[in-house]
A and B are shown apart, each in its own frame.
Chain A
Amino acid sequence: MKSKIIDIINGIRPEFDFGSETNFISQGMLDSFDLITLVTELDESFGISIDGTDILPENFETLEAIEALIKKNGAE
C-alpha cells in the first residue's frame, strides 16, 4: 500500500521525495489543492471514498498517516 501511495503523491508533486520526508503539510510540500487531487486519486486507486470530515491536514502529514486514513475508510 505504501509504495502505491508514494507513486500517487510523487505524481502530484514530483519535485519532492515523499518516500524519505515527513511533515508534508507543515513543510509546504502539499497544499489544500494538492489534497483535493490526492484524495480523488486515492479514492479511485483504492476503490474507496475518503470521508469529507477526514480531509484534515493532520491526516496527510506522513505516509503512515495517509495509510491509516485509507485503511480507516475501508481499504484492505
Chain B
Amino acid sequence: MKINFSNKKITGMLSVLPSNEVMFEDEMHNYSFSEAKSLKLKTAMGFKSKRIVAEDTTTSFDMAVAGFDYLFDNNLLVKNSIDAVLFISQSPEYIMPPTSNLIHGKYELDERVVCLDINQGCAGFIIGLQQAFMLLDNDGINKVVLCNADVLSPKVSKFDRNSNPLIGDAAAITIIENTSENTSIVGEIRMNGSGAMALNVPAGGARMPITAETSELYEDSFGNKRSKNHLVMQGDNVFNFVQTKVPEQINKILENSNDTVESIDYFLFHQPNRFMLQKLADKLGVSRDKLPSNVVENFGNSSGVTIPVVTTFNLGEQLENSEMNVCFSGFGVGLTWGTIIMKIGNLDFCKLIYK
C-alpha cells in the first residue's frame, strides 16, 4: 500500500520508559553460553541494559497512562482538542474492551472522540502514522493521539538467549495534526502473512488457551528454555527478510520521490539490535551516524515503540528547535515492513520520561 499525504504533521512526541533497569551481565548466567561467548555477543548485538517493568502487574495501559498524565499535567495536551485515540500494541489490557476505550473512559473524553485498537508489532509506529493520516482526512478530525505501547517482558522466558537480552518495555504518545503547510509525506507498507509465525507467542489466544501444560518449560535444540506462553523468534528468517525487503523498499521510495540518501537527515528505524541496523546502514550506503542503533543497548527493543524512543532519545532537543527530513522505517511481526519519509520538527514537545 502506497502512502501519499499532505497538509499533515507531527506536533509532539513523548516516550515513557520503565525506571527499572536490568543489566545484561545480571542475566547472563541464565543462558546456555560460556561467559566469554556471551560477552562477545554483547558487543556485536549491543546488549548492555534494558528497561522492563518491575512488576508483572504493570501493563502497557499503565505505561500509556503515565504518558497521558505527564502531557495533561504539563499542559502539553488539552483533552478537548483530541479527536481520535489510536492504541497500537500486542499486549492489550483485555481481549475486550479495546484499550483505547479504557483510555477514553479514564480521561472522560468526549463521546465524539474516535477510539481504535490495532494489533501490530515492530512496524506499529508506521501503521499508526498511516492510520492517523487517514483519520485526519475526515471532516471534524484535526488532532489524532497515537499511542504505541508494549509490555512484552512478561512474555519472554528469562532462559531464552534469543529474545530475553533484547526485549524491553515502553510506551509512546505521538500527536498528529492537520496543517495549512503544504507538507509532503510519502511511503509504503507491505506485508507477507506466509511468514507470520516467524515471530509469535503460541499460547494465550483462542487457538491455544493458557493451561498448566502450555506453561511448562521445554528446551530447544540450542539450549534455550521457554514455554508455549513465551515469545518465539526465528531470528535467522527475520534477519534475512529485513536485509532483503527493507533496503529494497527504501530505495524504491527514494527513487519515486525527490529525496536521496544524502537529503535525508536521519534514518529513524525500528531497533531490533545493533548488528542488524549496522548491516542495514551499510546496505543502504548510509553513514552509521545517520542511522542511530543505540536503543537496544540503553533500553531494549520495545517493538512498535522503538521509533519514538530512538527519536526522542537521540534528537529530542533538536526536534523541539529545528526541522529535519527523516526516514522512519519499521519491520518485523507479521511479517510487516513500512517506511515513511517526511519532515518533522519544531515540535511542541519531544521528550523521554521514566515511570
Binding site for B on A (CB under 8 A): 12, 31-34, 36-37, 39-40, 49, 51-53, 55-57
In the complex, B43 has a CB within 8 A of chain A = yes
Residues of chain B contacted by A32 (CB below 8 angstroms): 235-236
| Chain B residue with the shortest CB-CB distance to A35 | B236
User: Is B283 in the interface zone, CB < 8 Å from A?
Assistant: yes
Given contacts A32-B235, A36-B275, A40-B275, contact A53 B240 (CB under 8 A): yes
Which residues in A have their C-beta under 8 angstroms from that of B45?
A: 36
Do A52 and B243 have beta carbons less than 8 Å apart?
A: yes
Q: A49 contacts B40, CB within 8 Å?
A: no
What are the nearest 9 A-B pairs in CB distance?
A52-B243, A52-B279, A49-B282, A40-B44, A37-B40, A36-B44, A53-B243, A32-B236, A37-B44
With A31-B222, A32-B235 given, name 12 new contacts (CB 8 A).
Answer: A33-B161, A36-B44, A37-B41, A37-B44, A51-B243, A51-B282, A52-B242, A52-B279, A53-B240, A53-B283, A56-B240, A57-B236
Size category, B interface: 20 to 34
Q: Is B189 an interface residue (CB 8 A)?
A: no
Query: B64 contacts the other chain (Cβ, under 8 Å)?
Result: no
Write the chain A residue with the least CB distance to B235. A32
- Output the least CB separation between A18 and chain B (Å): 16
A36 touches B41 (CB 8 A): yes
In the assembled complex, the Cα of A54 lies from the Cα of B36 at a distance in Å of 26
Most chain B CB neighbours (cut-off 10 Å) among A32, A33, A49, A53: A33
Residue B280 is within 8 A (CB to CB) of chain A in the complex: yes
Q: Are B280 and A52 in contact (CB under 8 A)?
A: yes
Q: Is the CB of A40 within 8 A of B43?
A: yes
Contacts A37-B40, A40-B44, A56-B240; is A51 near B283 (CB within 8 Å)?
yes
* Interface hits, B137-195 → A, CB 8 Å: 161
CB of B279 within 8 A of CB of A49, answer: yes
Query: What are the interface flags for B231-248 relative to A under an 8 Å C-beta threshold, 1 for contact and 0 otherwise?
Result: 000011001101110000
Nearest B residue to A33, CB-CB = B41
**Could you tell me the distance between the alpha carbons of A36 and B40 in the complex, rounded to whole angstroms?**
9
Q: Which chain B residues in 267-296 approach chain A with CB under 8 Å? A: 275-276, 279-280, 282-283
B56 to chain A, nearest CB (A): 28
The docked-state distance in angstroms from the alpha carbon of A40 to that of B282 is: 13
Whether the Cβ atoms of B40 and A52 lie closer than 8 Å is no
Selected A-B contacts with CB under 8 Å, 9 pairs: A33-B161, A36-B275, A49-B279, A49-B282, A52-B239, A52-B283, A53-B244, A55-B243, A56-B240
CA distance A32 to B239 in the complex (A): 10
Question: Which chain B residues lie closer than 8 Å to A31 at the CB level?
Answer: 222
Q: With the chains together, A31 CA to B41 CA distance in Å? A: 12
How close is A2's CB to chain B, nearest CB, in angstroms? 22
How many angstroms from the CA of A34 to the CA of B161 in the assembled complex?
13
Residue of A nearest to B283 (CB): A52
- Please give the distance in Å from B302's CB to the nearest CB on chain A: 21
Chain B 280-316 per-residue mask, 1 if CB under 8 angstroms from chain A, else 0: 1011000000000000000000000000000000000
Note all chain A residues with C-beta closer than 8 A to B283.
51-53
Give the residues in chain B near A52, CB-CB below 8 Å.
239-240, 242-243, 276, 279-280, 282-283
- In this complex, what residue of A is CB-closest to B161? A33
Q: B10-54 toward A: CB 8 Å interface, digit per residue (1/0)?
A: 000000000000000000000001000100110111000000000
A contact residues around B41 at 8 Å (CB): 33, 36-37
Q: How far is the CA of A53 from the CA of B242 in the complex (A)?
A: 9
In the bound complex, how far is the Cα of B275 from the Cα of A49, in angstroms? 11
